[in-house]
């Protein structure tokens, strides 16, 4: 990848997103698997040309300083002080930034390594989030229209199809998989879509720090990671505190639409969504699959394996 690609996906103009980091004290429990993937020439070209127009970077969790992921580079552990040729990072070097915990190959710093020190919170540029400065969605999309948040857009095919069929609403997709981001950028250009923007990072950080209350017409969470092992259930996206957060960003009457092919997760989703006092279910339990939701890769995979597909559609009171 060219240097410009790395720089462009790493940051966007300050008018689109505040380049700040959430407080170090917050515990990080990720609801997604950071994934690696190969970038084709078409994807690299899309990142180079389209990211500045359609992309924004979500600040990372515990890391002070500016968020600048090393996109497209081979995965490597840059914090192993015993590795051949390792040296402490030069924080005064131009372009240096704190590591991205969600980037492929990232590992926690070795606090026992020679020269390690805790982050300097008094250093120039370090900041905690300004919760009073959310994204200006009108400026981001260039118009005032209802906004749909698409959590985990994958390779972007479903997002592009919905945005093309629904030009009256704007779609803000959130993804951590760089090839998926690049593919959605390419699809956006190919289909001439002006109502799609793509955020790279943790969707919960985006909602928590960069989206104001009552900002969204709908939230889509289609086939999130089911985290089937009981010890991993704390990582599930649909759990009470996350649902309360997502609901708070919906306008009254706004929609929270989830889908899964994992029966136990569907039951957990139904219980969690039903228990939220600010949501109402217009169906007896599970919803019929709406025609406007495209069939996704994960849905096809689940159907091929003989699993039932569950849709859950709730509205904010």
DSSP-assigned beta bridge partners for residue 173: 150, 198
Closest-CA residue to 20 (of 137, 94, 98): 98
Strands (DSSP E) contained in 66-211 are: 147-151, 170-175, 196-200
Which two structure tokens, joined as six digits, stand for 91?
Answer: 């924080």
Please report which helix (H) or strand (E) contains residue 255, including its range: strand 250-260
Q: What is the dihedral of CA 70, 72, 75, 78, to 10 degrees?
A: -20
| Catalytic residue (one of 48, 100, 225, 276) | 225
Strand 170-175, strand 147-151: pairing: parallel
The question of whether 225 is a catalytic residue gets the answer yes
3-class secondary-structure state, position 243: helix
Cα–chain center distance at 43: 19
Task: Please state, in angstroms and rounded to a whole number, the distance separating the CA atoms of residues 20 and 49.
Answer: 25
Strand 147-151, strand 216-222: pairing: parallel
Residues annotated as catalytic (active site), given as ranges: 225
């Amino acid at each position: 990848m060219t240097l410009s690609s790395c720089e462009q996906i790493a940051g966007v103009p300050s008018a689109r997103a505040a380049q700040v980091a959430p407080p170090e004290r917050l515990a990080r429990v990720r609801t997604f698997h950071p994934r690696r993937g190969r970038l084709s020439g078409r994807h690299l070209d899309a990142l180079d040309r389209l990211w500045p127009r359609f992309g924004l970077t979500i600040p990372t969790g515990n890391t002070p300083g500016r968020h600048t992921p090393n996109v497209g580079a081979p995965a490597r552990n840059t914090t192993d002080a015993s590795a051949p040729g390792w040296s402490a990072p030069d924080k005064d070097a131009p372009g240096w930034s704190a590591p991205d915990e969600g980037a492929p190959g990232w590992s926690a710093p070795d606090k026992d390594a020679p020269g390690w020190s805790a982050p300097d919170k008094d250093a120039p540029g370090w900041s905690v989030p300004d919760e009073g400065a959310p994204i200006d969605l009108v400026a981001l999309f260039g118009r005032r229209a209802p906004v749909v948040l698409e959590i985990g857009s994958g390779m972007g095919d479903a997002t592009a199809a919905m945005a093309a069929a629904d030009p009256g609403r704007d779609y803000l997709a959130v993804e951590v998989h760089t090839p998926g981001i690049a593919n959605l950028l390419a699809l956006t250009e190919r289909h001439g879509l002006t109502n799609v923007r793509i955020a790279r990072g943790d969707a919960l950080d985006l909602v928590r720090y960069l989206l104001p209350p009552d900002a969204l017409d709908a939230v889509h969470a289609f086939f999130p990671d089911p985290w089937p092992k009981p010890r991993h259930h704390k990582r599930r996206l649909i759990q009470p505190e996350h649902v309360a957060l997502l609901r708070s960003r919906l306008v009254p009457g706004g929609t929270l639409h989830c889908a899964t092919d994992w029966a136990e997760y569907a039951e957990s989703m139904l219980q969690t969504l039903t228990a939220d006092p600010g949501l109402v279910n217009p169906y007896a339990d599970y919803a019929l699959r709406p025609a406007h939701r495209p069939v996704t890769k994960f849905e096809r995979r689940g159907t091929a394996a003989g699993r039932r597909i569950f849709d859950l559609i709730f509205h904010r009171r």
